[in-house]
Each structure stands twice: as C-alpha cells, then as structure tokens.
Amino acid sequence: MLHKNLIAGEWVGGDASANINPSNTNDVIGEYARASSEQTRAAIAAAKAAFPSWSRAPILERHALLKRAGDEIMTRKEELGRLLAREEGKTLPEAIGEVTRAGQIFDFFAGEVLRLTGEVLPSVRPGVGVEITRDAIGVVGVITPWNFPIAIPAWKIAPALAYGNTVVLKPADLVPGCAWALVDILSRAGAPAGVVNLVMGRGSVVGQTMLDSPDVNALTFTGSVGTGKRVALASIEHNRKFQLEMGGKNPFLVLDDADLSVAVEAAANSSFFSTGQRCTASSRLIVTEGIHDRFVAALTSRLQGLVIDDALKSETHIGPVVDESQLKQDVDYIEIGRKEGAKLAFGGDRIERDTPGFFLQPALFTEATNQMRIAREEIFGPVAAVIRVKDYDEALAVANDTDFGLSSGIATTSLKHATHFKRNSEAGMVMVNLPTAGVDFHVPFGGRKGSSFGPREQGRYAAEFYTSVKTAYTFA
C-alpha cells in the first residue's frame, strides 16, 4: 500500500519512498509518497482557498475537530506508539508516551478554542470604545523533524487549527509514518478540504517550495541550525511570520551537595534516553570537584546496566540511532573527543544485535573542557562529556558559555543555589533535580540565543505566533 499525500481533501500519489525500521533494517514499515514541487504548490493553494471559511467557522466546529482527533489518538496510543517506535527507534514506552502527549495537546487546544478571549477598553477619547482581538494569520507552513514524529507535528498543527489557520505539513522525510497517521485522523475527524494538507518528501523539493511561496503566511520550523537560518532568510524576503526551534547544547550541573542517586538518574535520562536524540538532551555534565569522582563512578555503573536493543523489546532501555548517517555523525564525534584529549570513560562502540540496526553503546567522556568541540557542537546522539569545575560559580559560568540556550538543569539540595540558577541560567527552560528533557504539554516550550527564535510553542503562549493582534475603535 502506498501512503499518499493529502492535498485539497484528496489523497494524491507520487514517487514512493520506503520507511525503514532502524532496529531492523529488513523491516519496511511502508511505502510513502514524495510530493513534487507542483503538488506542494497545489497544497498551498488549497490551504489558501480554505482559509476564509475555516477562519470564520463556528468555534464549536473547530473544537469538535480537535476533540475528535485527540480522542482517537488516545484510543490508539499503543498502536501509534508501536508505529513510532518502529520508524524512529524510541523504546515502546517512550513512544507511547509521545503519542499520549500528542493526544493531550489536541485536547488542550480543543479547550482553547472555547476560551478565546479579547479585551474591551475605554479610549482616551470620549464616546470611543476599543476592542483588542486576535485574528488567524492564514496559511501556516509546518516543517517538523524526525526525533518527535507525532508530538511536534501535534503541537504545531493543533494551535494553528484552533486559532483558525489552515496548514501545510511537511514532516521529516525519514519518519513519514506518524505524520501520515495524524493527518489521516484529522481528515476522518472532519477537517474540511484544504484545511490540513500533507506533503511528504525531501526538504530540497517540498521544503524549498514552501520557503519560496508568497502564499505561506507563517512558517513554524523545528530542525537544524543551518536549515533554520535558511527558513529565516526566506521568510524575511516574503515578510512572513516565522518561528524557529533549533539546536541545544544543554548543561546539567551536579553540585557537591546533590543527592547522588537523583543526580545520576537525571543525568542518565537527560543524556542517553531516547538515544540522546532530543534537542533538550544534556550533553554537558558540569560537576563540582567534591562529588566528581563519585558521580562518574555511579553514572558509569548506571550505564553498564542499560540494555541497548530493538526498540520494541520490553527489556530495552535505549533503542537504535535513527539511521546510518546519524550513527556516523555520532561515531565521528566520539573520535573527535578522543583526539581533543577527553577520556572515553565508557562505551562509544557500535554494537551488533539479533537484527541489523544502528545500535550504539552510550559514550561518556571525562576530563573534558568547555572549549572542546564535543562540548560546543550539538552531536544529537548518546554522547555526553563530564566537565570538572571548582564550585557553583564556575559551574554557572561554564553552563552559560554556549551559543545555545534551550534547556538547563541542576542537581542540588541547596535552595540558595537552585533559586540562583533558575534566575541566572541563560536558557528558556530550567530544571531542578529533574532531567533537562521532559516538559509538560500545557506550558511554553522554547529557548534563547541560537536555540530558538520567535514566540514560544505550546500552551496559551502559542497564540502569540498563530494569531495577529487587531485593535478596533468604535464611536457610538
């Protein structure tokens, strides 16, 4: 069966691409159509044509669509979680958790449709009233990455629809399955023709066509820094609104007074779970010297107990790297770390399992410095470097010495240090005695510096991107 693109309410075929399971490269999940430039332009035109009606649709119609979609996602979470684990390589519990989050996001924004608000203010001029409302923007282009193949499309599409916009979705070419399933759910839930369009395929074809189109009124992107810059430049040329979520080099501080077991569990989760393939993952473990040796020994012991295997096996803690290209990047960075003088204290070897797949033992470096490439550049794999520091002040300085600013964390039992870190960490999200990865669905998500640009995603703050403020004056 060929999984087709959805354009103007019709399923449209194209050149096929195989969706391969990274836990077992002999397992072909399905064939998925790749859209052409012409098909992408047709999808954009369909979204533009559908916008006037959808943006003025009764709020109960928009609410019902999102509610039905969220309910079906939750009902099918085990099935969709299995699909996600097969195509991306997350363990099954992580995959089901991601699907659950997608369902919760749709449920939240279904509620937001019924909570749309504005302001009525008196003017400084007698007899004049002022209303402040939010209007939908128009056609929203959605470009999503491979590491969260259903949650990220959900947290972009749900608010776009809730606020009355129409959508053209281009998922990562590597993981089309969950995006196709999500759009299929929205189509059957009653999305009118053209309101949600799916164009799978290569970024050089589909993504570039979206960037070049003057009819895309806003573009929300999650992915690499390099591609994010291209999105920004193209959007400026068309004077379109754009939102970027890009890289991270997230620090996790461990202070002398930390609860060792809490610190180790949070660090292991931050750095290595989901195979380290999270933009919020921590690849810099900044540890004060009084606890350094005990922390390294305990974390190494924790890593020795982790099972790396097929994402669908119940005993697996860490699944495969997503594909051969990403695996090569991880292995290359491990070699770079060695050459830079860091000590490979654990792991870093490619490993074989019962099925052909992209399995990599988590790599832990010690004696790293913050000037090394492994501490400056995003690796996006199960690779972390321990940086030894003297005290909290040095730890904070090292943590903030980065071009990125997405997430940060600290393990401490000191209220003073926790409070100071929350106020002074140069990151959009700060965790105390928790992993740097793992956020709630109803609160803002986003970073600072080179990690993010534009309004925050998720929660009520999503309205800042997906709407435009209108001020209306009336003399009566």
Catalytic sites, residue numbers: 245, 279
Per-position DSSP letters for 75-113, written without gaps between them = HTHHHHHHHHHHHH---HHHHHHHHHHHHHHHHHHHHHH
Which tokens go with 347? 């792991």
Q: Which of 283, 263, 246, 472 is nearest to 362 (CA)?
A: 283
- The CA–CA distances, whole Å, from 20 to 2, 78, 83, 259 equal 14, 20, 11, 42
* Dist. CA 309–CA 221, nearest whole Å: 31
SS3 content of the chain, % helix, strand, coil (to 5): 40, 25, 35
Q: Which sign, positive or negative, has the C-alpha torsion 387, 389, 393, 397?
A: negative
Per DSSP bridges, beta strands 282-288 and 383-389 are: parallel
Residue 420 Cα distances to 393, 401, 414, angstroms: 10, 17, 10
- Polymer length in residues for the chain: 476
Token code pair at residue 254: 């461990």
Residues 372, 243 contacting (CB under 8 angstroms): no
Secondary structure (3-state) at 166: strand
